[in-house]
Amino acid sequence: MPHQYEFPRAALTVDAVVFGFDEAELKVLLIKRGLAPFKGRWALPGGFVRVQETLDDAVRRELEEETGLHQVYLEQLYTFGEVKRDPRERVVSVAYYALVKMADHSTRAATDASDAQWFPVAATPPLAFDHATILQTGLERLRGKLRYQPIGFELLPEKFTLSQLQHLYETVLGTAIDKRNFRKKVLGFDLLEALDETNRDGPHRPAQLHRFNPAKYERLKKRGFLFEL
């Protein structure tokens, strides 16, 4: 059954802003384009949506194909539809953002790909298309969400010290945080399990390791609990 605006129609892509945190900097995973347009330029991983796959399936497939990443935390970010954003023709892109535990196995596979590389968010090379705008949108979403959803844990190793958690917040938000207030607030949520393990790395005295309890968060959220840091 044809309809009025059926042809010509825009092409549809997905793109992913993949964030990682290496305990010093917030990073973003970029791929080097092998084909025109913008051949040789760095870009967000992504590609064309197949007509028989969902948007979520498309971005997971592209991430695995281009960076080796799979089973990452993924959320839809925004859909970019400026008419001239692709020099070939009209292409609308549904952007996602992903959060990756850089210390885990999954990320090693990603960095095996010769044309996939982590860059500090604060020092990326020039990007193809409108990907700088998409990256900026992803960064703003991450900063916003960090304050009212416990998504920061997706960027940390499974077991982390409170100093690591605080440093993540300080790095992403770009502000210094008072240590005592931060600990009081974070522990007050009762969402962390204190483990009988310490972190022996580094020059400091051993610090206790903690683990985030996502099941408990889901239970609290259903009762109207608000996470706000």
Looking from the CA of 181 toward its CB, the CA atoms found within 13 Å total 5
Residue 79 within binding range of its own copies, rule CB under 8 A:
yes
Q: Is 177 exposed, middle or buried (0-12, 13-18, 19+ CB in 10 A)?
A: middle
Q: Using the rule CB under 8 A, give the single segment among 43-51, 98-106, 107-115, 187-195 that binds its own copies.
A: 43-51
Residue 201 within binding range of its own copies, rule CB under 8 A:
no
Instruction: Quickly list DSSP for the chain.
Output: ---TT-SS--EEEEEEEEEEE-SS-EEEEEEE--SSSSTT-EE-SEEEPPTTS-HHHHHHHHHHHHH---S-EEEEEEEE--TTSSSSS-EEEEEEEEEE-TTSHHHHHHHHSTTEEEEEGGGPPPBSTTHHHHHHHHHHHHHHHHHHSTTGGGGS-SEE-HHHHHHHHHHHHTS---HHHHHHHHHHTT-EEEEEEEE--SSSPPEEEEEE-HHHHHHHHHTT-----
Select from 82, 104, 115, 197 the one that contacts its own copies (CB under 8 A): 82
Q: Using the rule CB under 8 A, give the single segment among 45-53, 97-105, 150-158, 199-207 that binds its own copies.
A: 45-53
Q: Using the rule CB under 8 A, give the single segment among 86-94, 122-130, 183-191, 209-217 that binds its own copies.
A: 86-94
Residue 223 within binding range of its own copies, rule CB under 8 A:
no
Residue 114 within binding range of its own copies, rule CB under 8 A:
no
Select from 39, 71, 81, 208 the one that contacts its own copies (CB under 8 A): 81
Q: Which is nearer to its own copies, 53 or 158 (CB)?
A: 53
Residue 162: name the closest of 195, 124, 122 by CA.
Answer: 195
Which residues from 130-149 bind its own copies, rule CB under 8 A?
147-148
How near is the Cβ of 149 to its own copies at its closest, in Å? 10
Residue 40 within binding range of its own copies, rule CB under 8 A:
no
Residue 194 within binding range of its own copies, rule CB under 8 A:
no
Residue 52 within binding range of its own copies, rule CB under 8 A:
yes
Q: Which is nearer to its own copies, 10 or 187 (CB)?
A: 10
> Can you give the binding site for its own copies, defined by CB under 8 A?
1, 3-6, 8-12, 36-37, 47-56, 76, 78-79, 81-83, 88, 90, 92, 94, 147-148, 175, 224, 226, 228
